[in-house]
Amino acid sequence: MAKTKKTILLQPNGERYDYVALALADNQTLEQAMRMGSQPRMEDLAGWEFRGYNTLDLTGLLGFRKFKKGFYSPRPIEGTIEELQGYNVQVVQTPLGDPWIDRIKSGQAIRHAWYRCHPVRMTDVDCRYPNAVLINYDCEDNNPLDPSKRLRDYVVQVYPDDPDLLLGKAYVALAGPLRLFVSYFILGRNNPSPLHVGSSSQ
């Protein structure tokens, strides 16, 4: 039996989606991309900050449509990466086509909404997208009263040969297994994370 060629997500003009095209796509297209996407390699995430863009218009009014996500290990990595730590960075809210510029306080980028990241585990409550990595903000790095602790994000790699373009889907954890969809978001590799220690061989 001949193998069926796996299809990839294409724009109506037949071209691949780039960062901006994904950011402007409708939810139906983004959901298709979530289901077609592949699971990012933890090794491709480690040590990088990705520029992020929320597709929900309300986030623009609330002042966090643009952001960055960082993925790092606080200690040397030996062997396969099972889990990474991460954070969000506040950035200046400029038009989509402009560069991502960190907000600075006391000479440092403003990092907040910390999380743990690992491949989706089908035994966990949050296993909606088996082809994704899960970002779970319910960790000890956040204040117990921080509302971000309720966030749960799924992230996929849009194209199997492009680890620089990712798509995410954010939910709020309600009572028990209930989850409320919030927004899709686009991620693009941007700059090294200053918090990443790296591998033990470095």
> Mind listing the domains of the chain with CATH numbers?
27-192 (2.40.128)
In the DSSP assignment, the letter for residue 198 is -
In the DSSP assignment, the letter for residue 79 is S
Question: How far is the C-alpha of 77 from the C-alpha of 83, rounded, in Å?
Answer: 10
Res 4: pLDDT: 45
Q: Supply the DSSP string of 143-194, one letter for each residue.
A: -TT-GGGGEEEEEEEEETTEEEEEEEEEEEE-STT-EEEEEEEEEEEEEE-T
Convert the pLDDT of each residue in 30-74 to its tens digit. Answer: 999 999 999 999 999 999 999 999 999 999 999 999 999 999 999
Question: How far is the C-alpha of 131 from the C-alpha of 183, rounded, in Å?
Answer: 18
Question: Global pTM?
Answer: 0.94
Convert the pLDDT of each residue in 96-117 to its tens digit. Answer: 999 999 999 999 999 999 999 9
Question: How far is the C-alpha of 184 from the C-alpha of 168, rounded, in Å?
Answer: 6
C-alpha count within 13 angstroms, C-beta hemisphere, residue 21: 14
Res 142: pLDDT: 94
Torsion angles phi and psi, residue 79, rounded to 5: 80, -150
Question: How far is the C-alpha of 126 from the C-alpha of 131, rounded, in Å?
Answer: 12
Residue 130: count of CB within 10 angstroms of its CB:
11
β-pair partners for 84: 117
